[in-house]
Amino acid sequence: MNITAILVAAVVVGGVGILIGFFLGISGEKFKVEVDEREEAILGVLPGNNCGGCGYAGCSGLAAAIVKGEAPVNQCPVGGAPIAAQIGEIMGVAAEEGARQVAFVKCAGTCEKANRDYEYTGNEDCAAMAFVPNGGPKSCNYGCLGYGSCVKACPFDAIHIVDGIALVDKEACKACGKCVAACPKNLIELVPYEAKHLVQCSSKDMGKNVMKACSVGCIGCHLCEKNCPSDAVHVVDNIAYIDQTKCTGCGICAQKCPKKIIL
């Protein structure tokens, strides 16, 4: 074995490595992207859930958007007012306190109250119900399927299937919107945390058909609409809607509802 050849090869390899390292170091300095210190500070304040509820691709995306002025300092639904205040201090602006929101499931068709057309055994996934007869075993085509796609999507363990329907834990919910996007029936919406009255149904069927499918479904009788003193309730497409900006929480709509579907 030629020791000289080995030494020469080692020196050449080492020299090439040094040259490449030097080149990469110079290139890194020349082409590096400057990161605003505020962006790093905001990223350190954000909760780090990367849930996407803010509308950006993770916390880093939101931090960059806030620094660029493309998003308000209170854009993070998980952090809420405390995190917004800290980000406001970093950005040197006042954080406007937004109304807290929570997810709400517009269905009360529990196992006892909702009728079924047949018994289903198979893949328990809400999205998969689009490929089974009648869109699922429940007689109501608008009701919660109860197979937990929303539960799997929630990063905060704030929603669970109870007695055949999804139920939201208001205190644990961060209003990230993951469950809203996961529900194939569009049954979940974000509502004000302080909302006094909500319609727990989404069926647009005629009253007689609703009653055949579910004992607590909204039948579009208009009694809530006619008796609301604030013009906050209107029946559209056979289902009652409550305008939370007008609702005073008087409770008359809930009292008049014959199906007791207004919480």
| Distance from the Cα of residue 151 to its chain's centroid | 11
Q: Give the pLDDT of residue 7.
A: 66
C-beta separation of 137 from 213 below 8 A: no
Residues in the chain, total: 263
Residue 128 DSSP code: G
Model confidence pLDDT, tens digit, residues 144-159: 999 999 999 998 999 9
Of 25 and 240, more confident: 240
C-beta separation of 175 from 102 below 8 A: yes
Q: Give the pLDDT of residue 35.
A: 61
Residue ranges of domains in the chain: 38-91, 99-194, 196-263
Look at the domain 99-194 and name its fold. Alpha-Beta Plaits (3.30.70)
Write the CATH number of the domain with boundaries 196-263.
3.30.70.20
Mean pLDDT of the chain: 86
Decide if 38-91 and 196-263 have a common fold.
no
Model confidence pLDDT, tens digit, residues 81-115: 888 888 888 888 877 766 788 999 999 999 999 99
DSSP secondary structure string for all residues of 157-195:
S-EEEETTEEEE-TTT-----HHHHH-TT--EEEEETT-
* Residue 247 to residue 103: CA distance in whole angstroms: 18
Model confidence pLDDT, tens digit, residues 184-201: 999 999 999 888 899 999
Model confidence pLDDT, tens digit, residues 13-56: 667 777 777 666 676 555 555 667 888 888 888 888 788 778 78
Q: Give the pLDDT of residue 30.
A: 59
pTM (global) more than 0.85: no
- Residue 73 confidence (pLDDT) above 70: yes
The whole-number average pLDDT for the span 115-120 is 90
Residue 42's closest CA among 94, 103, 90, 4? 90
- Residue 262 confidence (pLDDT) above 70: yes
The whole-number average pLDDT for the span 74-79 is 83
Q: Give the pLDDT of residue 190.
A: 92
pLDDT band at 168 (very low <50, low <70, confident <90, very high): very high
Instruction: Output phi, psi for 81, to 5 deg.
Output: -60, -40
- Residue 167 confidence (pLDDT) above 90: yes
Q: Give the pLDDT of residue 134.
A: 86
Look at the domain 38-91 and name its fold. 3-methyladenine DNA Glycosylase II; Chain A, domain 3 (1.10.15)
